[in-house]
Amino acid sequence: MIARAVSSPNLASDLISLTKPRLSGLVLATAAGGMWLAPGALTVPRMLVTLLATAGTVGAANALNCYWERHSDRFMARTSNRPLPSGRMEPHVALAFGVGLAAVCLPALALGANPLTALLGLVALLSYVLVYTPLKAHSSIAMLVGAVPGALPPLMGWTSVTGHIDAGGYVLFSILFLWQIPHFIAIALFRHDEYAAAGLKSVPIERGEDSSRLQIVLYLVALVPMSLLPFQLGIAGGWYLAAAVLLGLSFLGLGAAGLFRRLGRAWARQTFLFSLLYLTGLFAAMMLDSGGHG
């Protein structure tokens, strides 16, 4: 069995898939955004080491998440073909890969950036793997817990430049935290049956669809003004403010339409897709109109 796992010609691609490259890429983009927006600068070598180490830390967390959820992943269409639930890889290989990646990348983060950034990376890794992942099978509160490590990468990018946490870093963290809740609930709405089959708890399963739509709107109501604070703090300029207002009101309008018209899974999928467009557009506008930072 060990030989089969190690000699597989697809081992490299399967190991990469454990890191969830698309998710890791989005997270890494927000970390790079935090680095760009922070007052100050890193040398190019230190910047590259910091980004690679951040990517590796995120990848390690995702690999360990895959190891932990290898049984429930069999029941979800989007995860059933992953290396572990499909049987292409032995569990201990994924475990060793995740632990090894973290053991290399966290010290590299401390050296490439600073100890504070490495500490935030460690907090993100441990909270994601040891708290969020097992809690998903017991309570929808896991969503809020998981939003913390998901919001830390832009703060890590910020602290890698500044060496401390300040208002700008807190705002970037808060934007990502608030954004994730509508994003997660929308996924849980249109994948309701898969979550139930996998034994995972979600807001739609525990509270129902009406409560889910309401929570999406409430968090969007909090997100829109939070997204304006980078302008107030001088992190970004007027063009960013216009983009943030347009994107925020569009997102809120989409959420409100679902709430008041009691729309179903097609709307939830649209909301999920728009959440990705929103975050990409918001950070792109922030970075393009960064008011001299970076």
Residue 279 lies in a domain: yes
Clarify whether residues 190 and 129 are in a common domain: no
| Dist CA 271 CA 143 (whole Å) | 17
pLDDT tens readout for residues 30-82: 999 999 999 988 788 888 999 999 999 999 999 999 999 898 888 877 788 88
Q: By the 8 A CB rule, do 161 and 35 touch?
A: yes
9 pLDDT band (50/70/90 cuts)? low
Q: By the 8 A CB rule, do 259 and 213 touch?
A: yes
Clarify whether residues 119 and 230 are in a common domain: no
Clarify whether residues 133 and 171 are in a common domain: no
- CATH code, domain carrying 244: 1.20.120.1780
Clarify whether residues 19 and 104 are in a common domain: yes
pLDDT at site 294: 45
Angle between helices 167-190 and 21-37 (to 10 degrees): 160
Clarify whether residues 98 and 20 are in a common domain: yes
CA dist 272 → 105, 131, 213, 276 (Å): 31, 24, 12, 7
Domain of 224?
166-294
Q: What percent of the chain has pLDDT over 90?
A: 78
Clarify whether residues 22 and 68 are in a common domain: yes
| Dist CA 211 CA 4 (whole Å) | 47
Considering only CA atoms, which of 33, 29, 23 is closest in space to residue 172? 33
Q: What is the pTM of this model?
A: 0.91
Domain count, the chain: 2
pLDDT tens readout for residues 100-142: 999 999 999 999 999 999 999 999 999 999 999 999 999 999 9
